[in-house]
Structures are given as structure tokens and as C-alpha cells.
Homo-oligomer: A and B are copies of this chain.
Amino acid sequence: MDGCFPPPKDKLIMQPESDFFSFPKMRWTVCHIRELMPTKQVSRGIGAPIPFTYAKDDNIDAITFQPLNSEQEMTWQESQSANYTDGILILHKGQIVYERYLGCLDKLGQHAAMSMTKSLTGLLAEILVAEGTLDENAKVTSIVPELKDSAFGTATVRQVMDMTTALDYSEDYADPNADIWIYSKAASPLPKPQGYDGPNGYLEYLQTVDKSGAHGDAFGYKTINTDALGWIIARTTGKNVAELLSERIWQKIGMEQDGYMTVDAKGMPFAGGGLSAGLHDLGRIGSLVLNKGKFEGQTLFPSEVVENIMAGGDKEVFAKAGYTTLPGGSYKSMWWIFHNANGAIAARGVHGQTIYIDPTAEMVIVRYSSFPSAKNSKIDPTSLPAYQAVAEYLMNKD
């Protein structure tokens, strides 16, 4: 995007998605999703932002940690490039102690949050549950009758929120007939190819999902649960997730920038992964959660919302999913619960996206990144122990 327009062919990043999400093009794409796809605004409103205060501590760069499954120590600073970090922010007691922009991100940019979007959708649902407008024990079909004949119909709202639904749905990217590809075609905002007779949009797709097994038996990380939750939220409140995020969160905590969400061809926001937002603004979200719904003297939602999430989900059903870098963890309301000594939780997205919230260290870390592999299990070795090392450093400073 500069005066050298048009860019040379090898630097042109365009549809289709298989091109723009390929590495290394992805390193640009994650900061420019809206230039490739239709999006819906998550409005911050028109008031003045509430600026952060700074208590910068450059000693953080030299903090060392031992990566998982490695004998060689690494510094915090070294972990930035190891993780293809695009932007990183550390808040301690609400103040910015560390902040770096690398890769495609700057302070006026927004970065793809990927599956961290799920945690915000889950937070909205948990708020509605705490306020009594959404019954976590209700069957989904009683709220969204259109889902009656799908696997979701017989699940409870809570099972959808915790992803313990029993879905006949494969995310095996190597299998060209996997459900993920049918889902992707349905979700694409581009006009459908001639002759296409599959589902159009998230909502039509969700109605086609069959059941496999018994709800509640196992955790299965499947994005379509979040899209179903987005529909449940929309039907409950009369507002889709983008609108509700704006009304309940974005307009309330002094955000610097609008966020935005990708949409399907019918305008439904992608509740399972469509958000892009600024680095500071995800820091504000982390602070809001750390402070259990309190922000600058206001109470946005009851503290039980965060207490429920932090209490975590069922560790046994989580263990069945076999996440080697998250032993003893759980998943609750679309947040990852580490069940570590500090009681840390996280919003996580592919390619290394994280909001890491440590209530004991009173610390929030936001990392945007574009790690070549989607799998967080490859990024966790140089990030999870790094977060813990920074937490310990900050606790010792107090």
C-alpha cells in the first residue's frame, strides 16, 4: 500500500483465502483483514478514549525463561522474534510496563484476534447468564428452534459455551472432504460459485451439523460451537455479537479504536474468529476481566461472570482432548484455564494470539503474532513459560 502501486505480482496479496492466509503473506494479512473481506464495525462510540498510564520497565527484555522441552534459556526479548510477534503489551496493576510493535502492527492498526474472538463471545454469554436473560441449562432448541434437527438442538447452552457438545464435525485440514471445508464454503462472504447448492452462511451451516456421541462427555474444540453461541446471543438480545460487543464492552471502557468483525454473505458476524482490534484495546479487555467487570469505578457486569470463568471447566473432559502443552487445564465459556498456581486464564487464537490474564501477578499480557504454524502447541513452548517468568518478576518487584 504505497506509491509503488501496483505492487509487483509476487507482493500482491489478494483473494482467495488460500493465498492471503499462506505464509509469509499472512504476516501482512493479519493486519489488513478488512481490505480483503467485508466487515462489520464494533463501534467504540464517539467519546474520548481513556488513556493508559505508563510505568515502563525495560528490564523486562532481559528476563530469562526456559522454553518447554528445551535446556537452553531464552530472554523475553528473544521470544518476540521466536514467536513472530506483531505486537505485545504487558499491563501490571493497570499500567503499561512493556509495549512493542513489530511485524505489520502499529498503534493505529488492528490485528486479527482469530479465536480470541471466541472468548469475547463466551464473555457476552456469561454476562447474559449472570444477568438472568440466558438460561445456561436451557436446551438450544428452546432458544433457536431452527437448530432443532441439528446436533445443537439437544445440547444445553452451557455445553455449547464449554464446547462439550457431541458434534459429527471434522477439522482435519488434510482431508479435502472434512466438514471444515464445507463450513468454510458456507461462511465465505464471496458470492457462491455457479451450481453451488450447499448452505449459505453460518446459520444455514449450523442447521446441517449431525450429532455423534453424547453431549457433555468430552471437550472438543470446534469453532462452530461459538457460531451457534453467537446465534443464541443474537436471538436472546436482538443484537448480533458485533453490535452487543460494541454496546456492552467497546463503548464502555474508553477504547481507542473501533474493532471490526468479518461477516458471512448475509451479514452475520463470525462469532468464532472474526474480530480484529487494536493492541491497547485488547489490553483494556484483559483489565476488565482481571478486575471482574469493574472499570474506572463503573461495574459493567457482576463479578460472578469472571469468577465462573476462572473456576474453570471439567478437567477430565478436557484431558481427553490431549493438549500436551496445557496439562491439567480446562476450557470454560470459551476461555482457556491453566489451573496453575497463579490462577491464570487466557483467550487464545491460532498463530499465537493471546490475552493472558494472571490475577495473582495482577498482570495482563496481550500478544498478537503471525507464527507460521497455526498450532499454538508450537508457540506455547516459548510463550507460556515466558509469561510465567514475567509474572514472577513483577510479583517480586512489589
Residues of chain B with a CB closer than 8 A to A49's CB? 46-48
Residues of chain B with a CB closer than 8 A to A12's CB? 266
Partner of A236, one of B3, B7, B45, B280: B3
**In the bound complex, do residue B39 and residue A35 qualify as a contact, i.e. CB atoms below 8 Å apart?**
yes
**In the bound complex, do residue B235 and residue A3 qualify as a contact, i.e. CB atoms below 8 Å apart?**
yes
**In the bound complex, do residue B34 and residue A239 qualify as a contact, i.e. CB atoms below 8 Å apart?**
no
A 275-319 contacts with B by CB, 8 A: 278, 280
Interchain CA distance A343-B46 in the complex, whole Å: 33
Interchain CA distance A32-B189 in the complex, whole Å: 14
Partner of A46, one of B43, B256, B267: B256
Chain B residue nearest in CB terms to A13? B267
Residues of chain B with a CB closer than 8 A to A35's CB? 38-40, 263, 267
**In the bound complex, do residue B191 and residue A2 qualify as a contact, i.e. CB atoms below 8 Å apart?**
no
Q: Is A379 an interface residue (CB 8 A)?
A: no
**In the bound complex, do residue A265 and residue B14 qualify as a contact, i.e. CB atoms below 8 Å apart?**
yes
Residues of chain B with a CB closer than 8 A to A34's CB? 34, 38-41, 260
Residues of chain B with a CB closer than 8 A to A368's CB? none
Q: Is A249 an interface residue (CB 8 A)?
A: no
Q: Is A36 an interface residue (CB 8 A)?
A: yes
Residues of chain B with a CB closer than 8 A to A156's CB? none
Q: Is A238 an interface residue (CB 8 A)?
A: yes
Interchain CA distance A256-B46 in the complex, whole Å: 5
Q: Is A135 an interface residue (CB 8 A)?
A: no
This chain: how many copies in the complex?
Answer: 2
Residues of chain B with a CB closer than 8 A to A4's CB? 238
Measured between C-beta atoms, what is the minimum distance from A90 to chain B in Å?
A: 19
Measured between C-beta atoms, what is the minimum distance from A152 to chain B in Å?
A: 15
Residues of chain B with a CB closer than 8 A to A204's CB? 6
Q: Is A257 an interface residue (CB 8 A)?
A: yes
Q: Is A237 an interface residue (CB 8 A)?
A: yes
A1-21 interface code vs B (CB 8 A; 1 in, 0 out): 111111100001111100000
Measured between C-beta atoms, what is the minimum distance from A357 to chain B in Å?
A: 23
Interchain CA distance A2-B3 in the complex, whole Å: 41
A31-63 interface code vs B (CB 8 A; 1 in, 0 out): 010111111110101111100000000000000
Q: Is A273 an interface residue (CB 8 A)?
A: no
Q: Is A240 an interface residue (CB 8 A)?
A: yes
Interchain CA distance A239-B2 in the complex, whole Å: 5
Interchain CA distance A97-B1 in the complex, whole Å: 40
Q: Which 8 A-B pairs have the closest CB atoms?
A: A48-B48, A3-B238, A46-B256, A3-B234, A43-B108, A15-B191, A3-B235, A6-B203
A3-B234, A7-B266, A41-B110 given; 8 more Cβ-contact pairs under 8 Å: A2-B234, A5-B235, A6-B201, A12-B266, A15-B191, A34-B34, A39-B39, A190-B190
17 A-B residue pairs with CB within 8 Å = A2-B243, A3-B234, A5-B203, A5-B234, A14-B265, A14-B267, A15-B190, A15-B191, A34-B39, A34-B41, A35-B263, A35-B267, A41-B110, A43-B108, A46-B107, A48-B49, A190-B190
Interfacial residues, chain A to chain B (CB-CB below 8 A)? 1-7, 12-16, 32, 34-41, 43, 45-49, 107-108, 110, 189-191, 201, 203-204, 231, 234-240, 243, 256-258, 260, 263, 265-268, 278, 280
